[in-house]
Amino acid sequence: MKTLTQFVINSTHTQITRGKSFTVLLNTFENAARIISAHVRKVGLADLLGVSGDINTSGDTVKKIDVFANDLLVQMLTDSGQIFRLASEELETVIKTTHTDAPFDVYIDPLDGSSNTDNAGSLGTIFSIYERQATDTLPSGNKQVAAGYILYGSSTMFVYATHEGVQGFTLDPSTGCFIHSHPDLVMPEEGTIYIANEANSPNWHKDILLFVQKLKVEKKCKLRNAACLVADFHNTLVGGGVFIYPGDKRNPDGKLRLMYEVNPISFICEISGGKAITNKKNPLDEAPIDLHQKVDFLIGSKKLISLFTKLPEDAIT
Q: Which member of 30, 112, 232, 296 is catalytic?
A: 112
* Active-site residue, from 4, 30, 66, 185: 66
Task: Specify the pLDDT at position 3.
Answer: 96
Residues 256 and 276: their CA atoms lie apart, in Å, by 13
CA distance 216 to 46: 43
Residues 211 and 315: their CA atoms lie apart, in Å, by 9
By the 8 A CB rule, do 194 and 165 touch?
A: no
Taking residues 215-236, report their average pLDDT.
96
- For 188-211, what is each residue's pLDDT tens digit? 999 999 999 999 999 999 999 999
Q: What is the mean pLDDT of the chain?
A: 92
* pLDDT tens digit sequence for 278-311: 988 999 999 999 999 999 999 999 999 999 999 8
d(CA 126, CA 224): 21
Count how many Cα atoms sit within 13 Å of the Cα of residue 283 in the half-sphere of its side chain.
Answer: 29
> What are 16-65's pLDDT values in tens digits?
767 789 999 999 999 999 999 998 888 766 665 655 555 555 556 677 88
* pLDDT (average), residues 90-116: 95
DSSP per-residue string spanning 10-63: H---TT-S-HHHHHHHHHHHHHHHHHHHHHHHTTTTTT--SEEEEE-TTSPEEE
Please check whether the two domains, 4-182 and 193-312, share a CATH topology: no
> Is 60 assigned a catalytic role?
yes
Q: Kindly state the DSSP code that residue 234 receives in the 8-state scheme.
A: H
The answer to whether 198 is a known catalytic residue is no
Q: Are 187 and 269 in contact (CB under 8 A)?
A: yes
Catalytic residue, candidates 25, 26, 30, 89: 89
8 A C-beta contact, residue 117 and residue 123: yes
pLDDT of residue 48: 59
Q: Which neighbouring-strand residues pair with 61?
A: 55
Of the listed 77, 86, 90, 237, which one is catalytic? 90
**Which of helix, strand or coil describes residue 145?**
strand
Active-site residue, selected from the candidate residues 26, 111, 229, 237: 111
Residue 118 confidence (pLDDT): 78
pLDDT score at 190 = 95
Q: Please tell me which residue in 30, 105, 109, 248 is annotated as part of the active site.
A: 109
The C-alpha atoms of residue 139 and residue 104 are separated, in whole angstroms, by 12
Residue among 261, 270, 286, 296 flagged as catalytic: 261
C-alpha–C-alpha distance, residues 295 and 74, integer Å: 25
Q: What is the pLDDT of residue 50?
A: 57
Assess if CATH 3.20.20.70 describes domain 193-312.
no
Q: Reply yes or no on whether the pLDDT at 153 is more than 90.
A: yes
- Residue 112 catalytic? yes
Q: Considering only CA atoms, give the Rg of the chain.
A: 19
Neighbouring C-beta atoms of residue 163, cutoff 10 Å: 13
Give the mean pLDDT of 68-87.
97
- The confidence score (pLDDT) of residue 290 equals 97
In the residue annotation, 261 being an active-site residue is answered as yes
What does the domain layout of the chain look like in residue ranges? Answer: 4-182, 193-312
Decide which of 3.40.50.720, 3.30.43.10, 3.30.540.10, 3.30.1490.20 is the CATH code for 4-182: 3.30.540.10
CA distance 14 to 246: 35
